[in-house]
């Protein structure tokens, strides 16, 4: 077929059309050469140029692209000061390449890698020779050629990313070589311009090849096969909503027997949860659900269990969670889905679970169909050889689900990633392991790509499955003694840090111990307790409060007026509970020491208002669901992005019960600062730099919270004040 056999629109408008179906796929399936000049090599560049590439690959077509790095004024000044241009270009391109997150992004990166590997895609970089006066290369056009020599040029604002087709207002128009002389002349002009640029003979432009290091980075995303783009197409919103509405309104037929999974009537599977399942299914039932805390990872996974069982009619599900309390929380939801699991861990209520598991594995292997079984356990129990030996005997339809998947990347956990599991699903808000790139890569290699991603911003403002929140940084300061200790630990961390050839930093054992001790030091700083005391009066008149503490012990020497105590040292969590109780506030702690039954009682009493404030340590970070939390006071917050993302998510869950509806959340983040600036004059330059590093670390978290809070103007003033006061420059991308 040639271009002449196709039909075309007068204008292509992204927010009104499906550009992939109506233009890219039909045209590129008939294309042998596609020359394109397109905007900036930014984070979405590979995604942007990938539209229709599966058709071009099948057609053995070729593509040439001229693009440009997104240079800033500072970059241009660097070049003028003698900074090597090639080095700067490679740095900018390297920083622009964003690892694909969603299933669709992974497959689109795969298209580009396939074309580069087969030498059917070539990318060149364009810069104006006179950067200061002529600005940047920002062209947006292309010329396409079919097997008969017919040509089409496309000109417009067509740098839309596919994920934004329903939101972006992008458009382009076409010229056709076979229709009119004016069109033919316009196409010829574009071809001449492209030829001059490609041959580096344009008088205004400097053209260079794509650095080999960037090619190698892109080739990492090459997979053995490609999938057709038709399977990646997200339906227009109205069609999707109609389809989901019909699915949700259908009559729920409750199974007559137990342990046959189904979605209960009271649970309404949301559109994004359906989309996650569809993506997982299209990826061969392999993948990761990377979903912000509070968006319903458990329900999404259980819906996938139900749908997979409908397909297979026989299924053995293995679910692994990091902690016993998460197992019990999963069990509550499993039972709602008509699933009676085997519960396996050291304190399981099912004392003979090991015998039951062995028997069920044998029965499952004997039955040909209509058999469902579910085993749920902790990482610790699953990592035991005797548990894995039993599960390794399973044959056929086995689904392996791991909750808080980053935990399975440990040395012990990786042993449990058995090849015999046919279906695999990992769940996590942030599955990447800190300081362990190898463990992260093995998780991704075993479970596959992220097939569905929903971040905090999308969850709050688009999906509206989380409530909006106010964010209030509470500024606290280290004492002179605390800062001295902080400095000492910082030097120990520096000594224990090594950097590999790729620039990845890692800590040895001594470095990790020092980093942990420094984190505890910041968490327990005396000023945090002093500042928390100023909120006591407000807490008396409220409920649904959560206070996050550090795991450290606190000296009472510097705060005798706050609490009367029998001892001179308390755990921070116990000190805070005592402060609250002594001020007439009904409060309790939520730590690893409370057993499953105590925790359930605390959750129930907190939800109905009997307990107004819960004081917790780390155990609330992963998976514990107390949606009624309305205000959080975060005394301890590490640099670990995973931790503060999870803590924020705990507070943003929706809640409506007993006539109360949670409309918003409020977060008080106790920010650690090294010293009052007024006292900084006596510090050495080294100490001042160490202090600024702490400020930068805290600013990183503040900025993350700032991005999605509802009181931006207030927080922005604090950010500006901190930057100016401590002379911390704003980081540029």
Integer-rounded Cα radius of gyration of the chain:
29
What band does 319 get if pLDDT is binned at 50, 70 and 90?
very high
Beta strands, E only, 334-408: 342-344, 371-378, 398-402
- Residue 570's pLDDT band, with cuts at 50, 70 and 90, is low
Instruction: Answer with the residue of higher pLDDT: 71 or 192.
Output: 192
Q: Average pLDDT of the chain?
A: 81
pLDDT at position 434, please?
60
Q: Taking 70 as the threshold, does the pLDDT of residue 402 lie above it?
A: yes
pLDDT classification of 256: cutoffs 50, 70, 90: low
CATH T-level topology, domain 3-231: Endonuclease; Chain A (3.30.870)
Top-ranked range on mean pLDDT: pick from 257-271, 423-437, 674-688: 257-271
CA distances from 169 to 183, 313, 714 (A): 25, 45, 32
- Indicate if the pLDDT at residue 158 is higher than 70: no
Report the pLDDT value the prediction gives residue 711, as an integer from 0 to 100. Answer: 94
Per-residue confidence band for 273, with pLDDT thresholds at 50, 70 and 90? very high
Q: What is the mean pLDDT of residues 385-403?
A: 94
Q: Which region among 32-46, 242-256, 502-516, 613-627 has the lowest average model confidence (pLDDT)?
A: 242-256
- 559 falls in which pLDDT band (50, 70, 90)? very low
What is the topology classification, in CATH, of domain 235-455?
Rossmann fold (3.40.50)
pLDDT of residue 163: 35
- pLDDT of 246 reads 47
Is 562 a residue whose pLDDT tops 50?
no
pLDDT bucket at 239, cuts 50 / 70 / 90 = very low
The average pLDDT across 350-367 equals: 92
Q: Give the pLDDT band (50/70/90) at residue 427.
A: very high
pLDDT (0 to 100) of residue 469: 94
Pairing of strands 660-661, 12-13: unpaired
Q: How far apart are alpha carbons 629 and 653 in whole angstroms?
A: 8
pLDDT reading at 680 higher than 70:
no
Average the pLDDT over 162-179 and give the result.
66
Highest-pLDDT range among 445-454, 563-572, 650-659: 445-454
Check whether 400 has a pLDDT greater than 90. yes
Q: How far apart are the first and last CA of the chain?
A: 45
Length of the chain: 733
Could you tell me the pLDDT band of residue 633, with boundaries at 50, 70 and 90? very high
List the beta strands (DSSP E) in 93-204: 121-128, 140-146, 151-156, 171-176
Q: Where are the beta strands (DSSP E) in 268-350?
A: 288-291, 314-321, 342-344
What's the CATH superfamily of 468-499+508-726? P-loop containing nucleotide triphosphate hydrolases (3.40.50.300)
Most confident of 270-279, 411-420, 625-634: 270-279
pLDDT of residue 669: 94
pLDDT of residue 167: 37
pLDDT at 568: 45
Q: What is the pLDDT of residue 168?
A: 44
CA 207 to each of CA 65, 68, 195, 199, 202: distance values in angstroms, whole numbers, following the listed order: 12, 9, 12, 8, 9
Check pLDDT > 90 for residue 44: no
What ranges do the domains of the chain cover? 3-231, 235-455, 468-499+508-726
566: confidence class by pLDDT, cuts 50, 70, 90: very low
The stretch 674-679 carries a mean pLDDT of 64
Query: Residue 304: pLDDT band by 50, 70, 90 thresholds?
Result: very high
Q: Which of 668, 261, 232 is nearest to 452 (CA)?
A: 232
pLDDT at 285 over 80: yes
Residue 134 above 60 pLDDT?
no
Alpha carbons 562 and 584: distance in angstroms, whole number: 14
Percent of the chain predicted with pLDDT > 70 = 81
572 or 599, which is more confident: 572
CA separation for the pair 590, 610 (Å, rounded): 15
- CA 210 to chain CA centroid, nearest Å: 29
pLDDT band of residue 250 (cuts 50, 70, 90) is: very low
Q: Give the pLDDT band (50/70/90) at residue 143.
A: very high
Q: Determine the pLDDT at residue 659.
A: 62
- For residue 164, pLDDT over 80 is answered with no
Predicted local confidence at residue 622, as pLDDT: 46
What's this model's pTM, rounded to 2 decimal places?
A: 0.62
pLDDT(382) > 60: yes
The two domains 3-231 and 235-455 share their CATH topology (first three levels equal): no
DSSP labels, 224-263: S----GGGGPPPPHHHHHHHHHHHHHSPP---SSSS----
Q: How confident is the model at residue 624 (pLDDT cuts 50, 70, 90)?
A: low
The tally of CA atoms less than 13 A away on the side-chain side of residue 415 is 13
Q: What is the mean pLDDT of residues 678-693?
A: 73
């Amino acid at each position: 077929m040639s271009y002449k056999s196709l039909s075309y629109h007068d204008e292509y408008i992204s927010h009104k059309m499906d550009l992939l179906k109506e233009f890219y796929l039909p045209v590129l399936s008939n294309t042998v050469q596609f020359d394109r000049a397109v905007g900036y090599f930014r984070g979405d560049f590979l995604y942007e140029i990938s539209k229709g590439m599966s058709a071009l690959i099948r057609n053995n077509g070729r593509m040439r692209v001229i693009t440009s790095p997104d240079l800033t004024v500072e970059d241009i000044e660097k070049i003028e000061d003698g900074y090597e241009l090639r080095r700067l270009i490679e740095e900018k391109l390297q920083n622009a390449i964003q690892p694909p997150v969603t299933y669709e992004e992974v497959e689109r990166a795969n298209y580009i890698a396939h074309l580069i590997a087969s030498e059917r895609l070539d990318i060149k970089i364009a810069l104006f020779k006179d950067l200061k006066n002529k600005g940047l290369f920002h062209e947006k056009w292309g010329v396409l050629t079919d097997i008969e020599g017919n040509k089409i040029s496309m000109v417009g604002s067509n740098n839309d990313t596919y994920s934004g087709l329903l939101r972006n207002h992008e458009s382009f128009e076409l010229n056709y070589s076979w229709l009119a002389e004016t069109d033919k002349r316009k196409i010829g002009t574009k071809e001449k311009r492209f030829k001059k640029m490609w041959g580096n003979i344009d008088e205004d432009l400097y053209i260079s090849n794509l650095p080999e290091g960037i090619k190698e980075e892109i080739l990492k995303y090459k997979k053995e096969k490609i999938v057709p783009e038709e399977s990646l197409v997200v339906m227009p919103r109205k069609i999707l909503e109609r389809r989901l509405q019909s699915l949700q309104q259908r009559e729920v037929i409750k199974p007559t027997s137990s342990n046959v999974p189904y979605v209960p009537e009271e649970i309404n599977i949301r559109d994004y949860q359906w989309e996650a399942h569809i993506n997982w299914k299209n990826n061969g039932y392999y993948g990761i659900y990377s979903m912000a805390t509070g968006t319903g990872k458990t329900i999404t996974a259980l819906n996938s269990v139900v749908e997979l069982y409908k397909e297979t009619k026989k299924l053995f599900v293995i679910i692994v969670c990091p902690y016993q309390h998460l197992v019990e929380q999963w069990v509550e939801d499993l039972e709602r889905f008509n699933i009676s699991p085997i519960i396996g861990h050291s304190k399981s209520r099912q004392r003979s679970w090991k015998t039951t598991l062995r028997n069920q594995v044998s029965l499952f292997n004997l039955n040909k169909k209509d058999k469902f079984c579910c085993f749920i356990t902790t990482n610790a129990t699953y990592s035991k050889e005797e548990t894995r030996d039993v599960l390794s005997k399973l044959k056929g339809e086995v689904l392996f689900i791991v909750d808080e998947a980053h935990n399975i990347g440990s040395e012990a956990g990786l042993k449990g990633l058995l090849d015999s599991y046919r279906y695999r699903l990992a769940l996590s808000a942030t599955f990447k392991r800190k300081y362990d790139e190898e463990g992260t890569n093995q998780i991704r290699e075993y479970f596959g790509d992220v097939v569905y991603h929903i971040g905090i911003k999308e969850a709050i403002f688009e999906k509206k499955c989380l409530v909006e929140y106010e964010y209030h940084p509470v500024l606290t300061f280290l004492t002179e003694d605390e800062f001295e200790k902080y400095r000492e630990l910082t030097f120990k961390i520096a000594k224990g840090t090594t950097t590999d050839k790729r620039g990845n930093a890692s800590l040895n054992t001594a470095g990790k111990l020092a980093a942990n001790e420094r984190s505890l030091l910041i968490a327990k700083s005396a000023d945090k307790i002093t500042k928390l005391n100023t909120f006591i009066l407000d807490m008396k008149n409220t409920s649904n409060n959560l206070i996050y503490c550090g795991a450290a012990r606190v000296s009472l020497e510097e705060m005798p007026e706050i609490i009367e105590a029998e001892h001179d040292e308390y755990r921070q969590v116990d000190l805070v509970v005592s402060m609250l109780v002594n001020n007439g506030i009904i409060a309790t702690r939520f730590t690893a020491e409370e057993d499953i039954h105590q925790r359930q009682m605390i959750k129930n009493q907190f939800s109905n208002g009997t307990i107004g404030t819960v004081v917790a340590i780390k155990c609330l970070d992963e998976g514990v669901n107390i949606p009624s939390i309305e205000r959080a006071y975060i005394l301890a917050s590490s640099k670990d992005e995973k931790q503060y993302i999870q803590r924020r998510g705990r507070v943003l869950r929706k809640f409506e019960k007993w006539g109360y509806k949670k409309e918003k959340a409020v977060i008080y983040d106790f920010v650690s600062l090294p010293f009052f600036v007024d006292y900084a004059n006596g510090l050495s330059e080294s100490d001042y730099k160490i202090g600024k590093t702490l400020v930068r670390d805290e600013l990183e978290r503040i900025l993350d919270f700032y991005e999605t809070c509802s009181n931006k103007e207030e927080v922005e003033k604090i950010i500006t004040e901190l930057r100016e006061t401590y002379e911390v420059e704003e980081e540029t991308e």
